[in-house]
Structure 1
Amino acid sequence: MRQSWRFIETVLGIIFRHPIVGTSIIPILPDGRIVLVQRRDNQKWGLPGGMVDWGQDIPTTVKRELVEETGLELSKIRRLVGVYSAPNRDPRIHSICVLVEAEVEGTMENKDILEIIAVEAFDLSSLPKSNLSHDHERQLQDYLDGKTTIA
């Protein structure tokens, strides 16, 4: 019985004491504008993205999250911008975020009304950098600075 409990404790520790993996996307429209989403939970702007589902890889997650949150289709992932793993980067949970730059196409549409208030495209000069959710200000600045970051 004691051995069984240790096994259960170990499994629960693996499930609940390890970071969740997710992705953020810097969607670039053909005209060069960057697409952001306004989150319902804190009303702040942020990069689209979300958690990697069981059995999915990062490219599949990027494609799924783009459609779910922006209505846009992935044309191609241009580059890995960074991996962000600070325990306090997301106020909800400890998560590891893989940030990619992606070419996108299609028509913007909020398809996730439970999580997203608005979807909007911004010129580089009009990005709402001081009102971004989570650590997206840092992620976006690393992208704009041309960095590849492991943090």
Structure 2
Amino acid sequence: MRRTWRFISTVMGIIFRHPVTGTTIIPVLPDGRIVLVQRSDSEKWGLPGGMVDWGEDIPTAARRELAEETGLELVNIERLIGVYSDPYRDPRLHSISVLVEAKVTGEIEIEDKLEILQAKAYLPEELPLGDLSHDHDRQLKDYLDGKIALVK
């Protein structure tokens, strides 16, 4: 029994004392518009994305999250924009997000209606910067400035 408890304690420590890895996507439609989603928990706009599931790699997680939150199909990951690891970037937990730019196609149709209220495409100059969820203002600024970022 003591050995089992030590095992459980070790696993819980690993799970709850380490950051969770996720991906954030800058979905670019063929006409150059960027798709943002409005989250149901905060009602703030932001980039689509989410946690990497067990057994997934970043491209697979990005493809899945994009489809769930926007209904769009990921055609190609164009480039890595940055890795964001500030412990306070996500108000729920310590997460590390890998930000990628992706060419996407299809029609916007939200599959995960519990998490996402709506999705909308914006021309880069029309993006509602200033009060996006998480650290998505920073992420979009880095993208628009052509930076590759490894930031806390």
TM class, shorter-chain normalised?
A: over 0.9
Aligned to 1:83: 83
Q: Does 1:57 align with 2:46?
A: no
Q: Which runs of 5+ in 2 are unaligned?
A: none
Distance 2:74 2:7 in 1: 42
Offset of 1:5 from its aligned partner? 4.0
CA RMSD of aligned residues (A): 1.2
CA deviations over 1:116-149 (Å, ceiling 9, x no partner): 1111000111100012000000001011111111
Offset of 1:2 from its aligned partner? 5.2
Offset of 1:6 from its aligned partner? 3.7
| 1:96 alignment partner, SS class | strand
Aligned to 1:71: 71
Aligned to 2:48: 48
Q: Does 1:111 align with 2:103?
A: no
Runs of 4+ in 1 over 6 A off after TM superposition: none
Q: Which runs of 5+ in 1 are unaligned?
A: none
Aligned residues: 151
1:42 is aligned with what amino acid? S
1:89 is aligned with what amino acid? R
Offset of 1:10 from its aligned partner? 2.0
TM-score (norm 2): 0.95
CA deviations over 1:54-98 (Å, ceiling 9, x no partner): 111001011111110001001100000000111100000000100
Using the aligned pairs only, state the percent identity.
68
Offset of 1:53 from its aligned partner? 0.6
2:37 is aligned with what amino acid? V
1:71 is aligned with what amino acid? G
Offset of 1:11 from its aligned partner? 1.9
TM-score (norm 1): 0.96
| 2:130 alignment partner, SS class | helix
Structural mapping, 1:83-102, within 5 Å: 83-102=83-102
Aligned to 1:11: 11
